[in-house]
Structure 1
Amino acid sequence: MEDYNIIYEQMKHSGVKHYLLICLEHSFHLMLHGQVENAKRHISIAESWRHGKESACQIQTTKLIQAYRSLLDYVIWCEKKNNASGINLINPGSNQDLHNCFRQASVNLKEILKCPGVWDSFILSYVEMLEFYGDHEEAEKVLQDYAYDNTFPSNPNAHAYLYQYLQRHNASKRRLMNVLKILHMLVPSHQLMLDYTFLLLDTEKHMKKALGILLDMLDYACWRTNMVVWDRLSYVIDQLQTGEDWKEVVAAKMAARKGWWPALHFTRFHATEDAEQRPELMQVKALLTKILCPDIQLTYSAGQTFNGDC
């Protein structure tokens, strides 16, 4: 470590243009070796460093330095919180040192939302501290701004974090579905789409919507062998069959898929593999084959008999 520190100090003073970024890298190295306080000291020096007339690039890098310094304050806050068992931690007067770490961390973490970008780790750290101190209104506002501010780049994680926060705090199903609706538009294959279909299935009027969400998930190979998705699809279709127009509903959803879905889910290879490794899945798919692809001459059954190219 001593040799590394010497090299970093030499690099910092070899050229002022890269001083800030080298300081940040030095802090990373110290943090990875468990020297969090030392890492914070080095990054704090960089935070106050100025050279000549500040350029736009230097200002941007300084903001990045400030954000990481606040993240280190959060790490120190976590350590102090974990070590201070048996104390009324939420009351600032009972542990002023801990609360000071929170205030130091929150100053720049709050400012991050003024700089468009992907700040997942920073936002989650700030929200965790706000939740700990019971400031749920501010925590929700931070996540709302992070997810819905149009000046920020599109970030599916932001919507996932907002949903998970609302779920932890028993938000209404309508609010949860509104968040997942946007996430579905961004990432139809997201794991939280299972939650979305579960919420939709609470009312019969959302069955058609649930069908579309499940089919969208199965458009992606990552869900091809997932028993939960296929079981839920089977359930939705069973519920839809109580209506007179269910065949038209399914046909409309499958119209754009019939040219490639059989190759993704219903080939001879899939049948053989499912029969050997996933017999329960094979049975569910066998029941759904003729419903989803009625115009294609194939059967997906225990006998694994296929007619046609698929």
Structure 2
Amino acid sequence: MLHHRWQEAAEYMAWYPQMIEDTTAGSGHHYKEIIWRMSTEILHHHPNSKMDDYNVIYERIKHSGVKHYLMICLEHSFHLMLHGQMENAKRHLSIAESWRHGKESACQIQMTKLIQAYKSLLDFIIWSDKKNAPSSTNITDPQSSQDLHNYFRQASVNLKEILKYPGVWDTFILSYVEMLEFNEDYQEAEKVLQDYAYDNTFPSNPNAHAYLFRYLQRHNASKRKLMNVLKILHKLVPSHELMLDYSSFLLVSEKKSNTKKALGILLDMLDYACWRTSMDVWGGLKYVIDKLQLQEDWTEVVAEKMSARKGWWPALHFTRFHATEDAEQRHQLMEVKASLAEILCPDIKLTYSAVQTINGDR
């Protein structure tokens, strides 16, 4: 395997599944997971591997013992999904869902819940495919309509159950919300997203707040409602791309304090290197400062926001290297940053401004 000699590896590996099925080989139990992992790895790389080969390996290892049965079933279904065999993958998950052995352990219960979740996701995928199929547009076909309803019911019931178990369930929640929206149950869809975002028993998940915001935005919620969601998201991830929307909402308001908040939000974004060359953020910052300059106390406001940043902001944004790079690659950004450099750092001699002036004169 290390030398990528997959054919030879496959020939050697063919003997091991037979060994673990031999009840006289007592040591086989300890190597079942190793054999499972190595066998599937060889098949992934073997140029002549077929789907039947995978099925044989999964079934052999699956029934050679009980310790990894559920995990192998789940992985087997993933492989079938990747090859577009959704109905077959669902069948394997249905078998695994009803499988029991001895007294259920906490780990076994958790794995069963995970299998139920993925089974419901498969129901959603099949429902979505049928919904978008040309035959689904024929409302006079009662069989097609009934099939669609059955998959909808199966998927929605199980997806709803997920919210009872704290965790990060992004794909599952979004699938459930899509089904609720299709069924025009907008109130329930919003409640699901709010519970996912605000239930303290769930782990902190910035995505949950972003999903809620985009749903509310899609359904024309009030600006106040949207801002409340973004306010919490800002506390979790100050560098999130939706902070541009948050600053825009604040600037629409006539309150002077909101302009100050917008300044802080954009500066928070620029504290992170991922936004260092973003024209949207720097352009937004320039707009905010231009608006602030209409107030008498604007210099104090800027100084207050920049006081904790003086020691490191120039090195992040206003060095000679940044000036040269911006002049060569982002001339518009260079102009915006140069106009803000002395406003943001009035007490510091910056090489950024000096270099941009030399480049401009030349």
Of 117, 137, 144 in structure 2, the residue corresponding to residue 86 of structure 1 is 137
**Structure 1 match to 2:155:** 105
Query: Unpaired runs of 5+ in structure 1?
Result: none
State how far apart, in whole Å, the 2-side matches of 1:302 and 1:228 are.
24
- Partner residue of 2:91 out of 22, 41, 46: 41
Pick which of 101-110 and 296-305 moved more.
296-305
* Aligned counterpart for 2:201 among listed residues 134, 144, 151: 151
Deviations 1:181-206 (A, max 9, x none): 11111111111111111111101321
Query: What is the match of residue 15 of structure 1?
Result: 65
Q: Any conservation in 2 of the 1:200–1:209 contact (CA below 8 Å)?
A: yes
Partner Cα separation in structure 2 for residue 302 and residue 226 of structure 1? 22
1:30-77 C-alpha deviation (Å, 9 max, x unpaired) = 110110000000010000111111111111111111000000000100
Letter in 2 for 1:79: D
- Answer whether contact 2:206 2:233 (CA < 8 A) is retained: yes
1:116 corresponds in structure 2 to 166
> Structure 1, residues 64-95: CA drift from partner, whole Å, max 9, x if none?
11000000000100110111353359x99971
Give me the CA root mean square deviation: 1.7
The CA deviation at 1:298 is: 2.2
1:263-287 CA-to-partner distances (Å, cap 9, x unmatched) read 0000000111111111111111111
- 1:262 matched to 2:314: yes
Which runs of structure 2 are paired with 1:1-310 in the superposition (5 Å)? 1-83=51-133, 84-88=135-139, 95-205=145-255, 206-298=258-350, 300-301=352-353, 303-304=355-356
Matched positions, count: 305
Cα distance per residue 1:91-145 (max 9 Å; x no partner):
9997111011010001111010110000000000000000001000110000000
Partner amino acid, structure 1, of 2:300? E
Distance 1:303 1:45 in 2: 69
The answer to which structure, 1 or 2, has the higher relative contact order (CA under 8 A, 6+ apart) is: 1
Alpha carbons 1:282, 1:301 under 8 Å: kept: no
Following the alignment from structure 1 to structure 2, what is the Cα–Cα distance between the partners of residues 305 and 238?
22
What is the percentage of aligned positions where both structures have the same residue? 80
TM-score scaled to structure 2, two decimals?
Answer: 0.81
Secondary structure, counterpart of 1:95 in structure 2: helix
Mapped to 2, the partners of 1:78 and 1:304 lie a distance apart of 55
Aligned partners of 1:189 and 1:220 also within 8 Å? yes
1:180, 1:192 within 8 Å by CA — same for their partners in 2? yes
Larger Rg: 2
Question: Separation in 1 of the partners of 2:191 and 2:341?
Answer: 46
Q: Where do 5+ consecutive residues of structure 2 fail to align?
A: 1-50
* TM-score between both structures, scaled by the size of structure 1: 0.95
